[in-house]
Structure 1
Amino acid sequence: MTSMGQALDVAAVRAHFPALRAGFAHFDGPGGSQTPEVVGRAVHDAMVAPMANRASVTEAERNAETIVRDARRAMGDLVGADPGGVVFGRSMTQLTFDLARTLAGSWGPGDEVVVTRLDHDANVRPWVIAAERAGVTVRWIDFDPATSELVTDELGSVLGERTRLVAVTGASNLLGTRPDLPLIADRVHAAGALLFVDGVHLTAHAAIDQPALGPDFFACSPYKFFGPHCGVLTARPELLETLRPDKLAPSSNDVPERFELGTLPYELLAGTSAAVDFIAGLLGSDGDRRERLVASMQAVERHEDALRDRLEHALAALPGVTLHSRAARRTPTLLITFADRAADEAYRFLASLGVNAPAGSFYAYEAARRLELPDGGLRIGLAPYTDDNDIDRLLDGLGRFTRG
């Protein structure tokens, strides 16, 4: 069995990413990671192999069926979910809008949904729009700008017998804050409501165990963890069986197929499986895939946290820099601003040095407004392939910028 305390060999990890050979230091992972060669090869191989709609007669049909089956199993292993409850879509945003419309069909005046000001807008606006159309009340949970912590104490005042759903992030894509999901799930379920978790940012930085975390629905995006651009929604198959989404008359009514509109992008699902297998192999090949995934992501978390700690100490010494990412539990994603210069200037200055750290609010619309930073800040995102040399280059650039 893989050692749960084994260190990540970052140089070996980096060797798998052709993009890194261009010489840039990438701190833009929260918007989408770089891609290992094995994932690109899997996409290519799927596209040039015999392929047709899923069935079992021809080789082309069987190839498609195998890709879909394998991708459901891979994502089930990654997040600890039943493969029979793995739904694929164009993006997390699309899947959330589709699910919101479906669930809202059973909502009515007097019902309530709960969203937070910490979330990416993809886990806010779909619920707000669906609630407004159904005449449902929207309640909000705030976060503390001084600590960047979600104010979970507000759950008691917003949850009630008419609460139908609570939507919360697994980790803020702007600040890195990781709310206490098991605590939230316990309170939401005690109120008789469903919990939807946006796991897009969290899945790239931590081992996910959906049953232990407690969400009824968990959404993520493979392109944040080395895979292609698509979205994934996971839920218990028996819960999905109770829902009736809009679909074409002749399309399958099976779960999870009833939630997947049109023909699936087989090449992207092949790439998704390859990305999961790549993560599973970061520490070696001992143990089953789920065990290896957990061990790999624990090693990733240790590596990223060590770099984050070094970076935070150095940022504290830079004049005029404010670090807004302050939660006790957080991903290695740091939002900073500057006393007398715009974050966009820093973004462009660093880019001129080959250091990619973008500026903006990154669709965390409510969070940026709550921070009174409508234009956001400079977001520094660490990844498994980030090394000390990258940190050196970033800090050198920021030092030059602040001395400006």
Structure 2
Amino acid sequence: MTYDVAAIRARFPALASGIAHFDGPGGTQTPRPVIDAIAAALSAPLSNRGDGTPGERNAETIVTESRRALADLLGADPAGIVFGRSATQLTYDFSRALAKSWAPGDEVVVTRLDHDSNVRPWIQAAESVGAVVRWVDFDPATGELTVDHVRAALSERTRLVAVTAASNLIGTRPDLPAIARLAHEVGALLYVDGVHHAAHASVDLATLGTDFYVCSSYKFLGPHLGVLAAAPALLETVWPDKLLPSTNVVPERFEFGTLPYELLAGARAAVDFLADLSPESVGTRRDRLVATYSALGEREDVLRTRIEQGLAELDAVTVYSRAARRTPTLLLTIADRSTVDAYRFLAENKVHAPSGAFYAIEASRHLGLGDTGGMRIGLAPYNDAADVERLLSALTKFVYR
């Protein structure tokens, strides 16, 4: 990557604490431009959206610009960007709305690789209408969820396939375009959890082939905000329960109540921040975002490789992140030791790498880790080589103390 890592780190106030953060999969630290954008939105006149007063116009501008920014990030149409409180909330909303068209005996496919937010809403929606839930397993030895695994679960009664773009627990990235083709061949919709994926890979809805893609801006340097992307024409076919006077216009019909304008402003600033990391100084914001993710991917691979090399030297450590295509996210356990104790030891040494199942409860159980999970190490754009060495040093001390 061609940018100055030290200069980038200086733009994250939280890093002044001296903590080495490997907890990015649970939420990244926030750069100053995002903080400033949130403050600016709240400092200026702000009202419900409209065109009559400065406050109304400011709100309208924030919403419009934020939709454009997230559309650039996700390779989507701004008119297909839906904002919500969280990815979980959006998935619950859409599961209930889509289930209105299901009938008893219809089938919904979920996977054991997914975060529970892309599992339980679909199970509960299916149960409410008498639809059948079919499970797709992954290989616990390799961490792979294959196209063949998905194909075996599909039938002419399949109405929806819910799958992750990247496991938040072990980083596995399934072959989404191939899965999309299989789902569409049987007439099913594909709903993709991209919460962990969008932090590490350039997204393009058409290339992925997904019908719905949901993510959260606080995983890619922004504030807590859920974002769903879909084709506007598809959204026109989905009718949520809503208040009588609220609009029927897409995408607003899915956004219940007044939007958190300051958070939208922060999400837009996070996208701009990522675009500004691009090694290319010209081109559209979309062009620069694609370049950023390519460069970040190369840099993250280098840091991840060093972590994996260091962990391989610790005989007591077992790493479960083994898929050929994966994010820089590693789940590990330590023989005869508690990863909760390891997490606390590292925290005392100003290294944050949390322990748990991280709501990927089915994946943790399928790996034989029960509901406990393990220690998760995740990289973010602000991690550097010094962070990695501190992590490995602290973990080595814990293992051998």
1:368 equivalent among 322, 342, 364:
364
Where 1:143 maps in the other structure, the secondary structure is: coil
Where 1:197 maps in the other structure, the secondary structure is: strand
2:77 equivalent among 73, 82, 103:
82
- The match for 1:213 is 208
2:222 equivalent among 223, 227, 237:
227
Q: Which moved more, 1:215-224 or 1:282-291?
A: 282-291
| Cα distance in 1, alignment partners of residues 166 and 8 from structure 2 | 24
Name the aligned partner's letter for residue 149 of structure 2.
Answer: E
Q: CA RMSD in A?
A: 0.8
1:42 equivalent among 29, 37, 44:
37
- The match for 2:170 is 175
- The match for 1:68 is 63
* Contact 1:123 1:198 (C-alpha < 8 Å) held by counterparts: yes
| 2:338 matches 1:352 | no
- The match for 1:139 is 134
* Contact 2:177 2:208 (C-alpha < 8 Å) held by counterparts: yes
Q: Which moved more, 1:6-15 or 1:16-25?
A: 6-15
- The match for 2:120 is 125
- The match for 1:398 is 395
Where 2:227 maps in the other structure, the secondary structure is: strand
* Contact 1:107 1:134 (C-alpha < 8 Å) held by counterparts: yes
2:151 equivalent among 128, 149, 156:
156
- The match for 1:3 is none
| Cα distance in 2, alignment partners of residues 184 and 114 from structure 1 | 12
- The match for 2:26 is 31
1:266 deviation in Å? 0.2
- The match for 1:378 is 375
1:332 equivalent among 315, 328, 331:
328
Aligned residue pairs total 399
| Cα distance in 2, alignment partners of residues 334 and 153 from structure 1 | 25
TM-score (normalised: structure 2): 0.98
Unaligned runs of 5+ in 2: none
TM-score (normalised: structure 1): 0.98
1:321 equivalent among 310, 317, 320:
317
Name the aligned partner's letter for residue 366 of structure 1.
Answer: E
* Contact 2:146 2:175 (C-alpha < 8 Å) held by counterparts: no
Q: Deviations over 1:253-283 (max 9, x none)?
A: 1000000000000000000000000000003
Name the aligned partner's letter for residue 270 of structure 1.
Answer: A
Where 1:149 maps in the other structure, the secondary structure is: coil
| Cα distance in 1, alignment partners of residues 184 and 154 from structure 2 | 10
Where 2:332 maps in the other structure, the secondary structure is: strand
* Contact 1:141 1:151 (C-alpha < 8 Å) held by counterparts: no
1:199 equivalent among 173, 194, 198:
194
* Contact 1:142 1:151 (C-alpha < 8 Å) held by counterparts: no
| Cα distance in 2, alignment partners of residues 317 and 149 from structure 1 | 24
Name the aligned partner's letter for residue 355 of structure 2.
Answer: A
1:313 deviation in Å? 1.1
Q: Deviations over 1:59-85 (max 9, x none)?
A: 110000000000000000001000000
| Cα distance in 2, alignment partners of residues 386 and 329 from structure 1 | 21
| Cα distance in 1, alignment partners of residues 356 and 237 from structure 2 | 40
Q: Deviations over 1:105-159 (max 9, x none)?
A: 1101110000000000000000000000110000011011100011321222211
Q: Deviations over 1:86-119 (max 9, x none)?
A: 0000000000000000000110111000000000
Where 2:152 maps in the other structure, the secondary structure is: helix
Name the aligned partner's letter for residue 104 of structure 1.
Answer: A
* Contact 1:319 1:402 (C-alpha < 8 Å) held by counterparts: no
2:52 equivalent among 49, 57, 62:
57
| Cα distance in 2, alignment partners of residues 8 and 138 from structure 1 | 47
1:9 deviation in Å? 3.0
* Contact 2:138 2:149 (C-alpha < 8 Å) held by counterparts: no
| Cα distance in 1, alignment partners of residues 160 and 62 from structure 2 | 33
* Contact 2:146 2:174 (C-alpha < 8 Å) held by counterparts: no
1:8 deviation in Å? 4.4
- The match for 1:301 is 297
* Contact 1:360 1:377 (C-alpha < 8 Å) held by counterparts: yes
* Contact 1:8 1:303 (C-alpha < 8 Å) held by counterparts: no
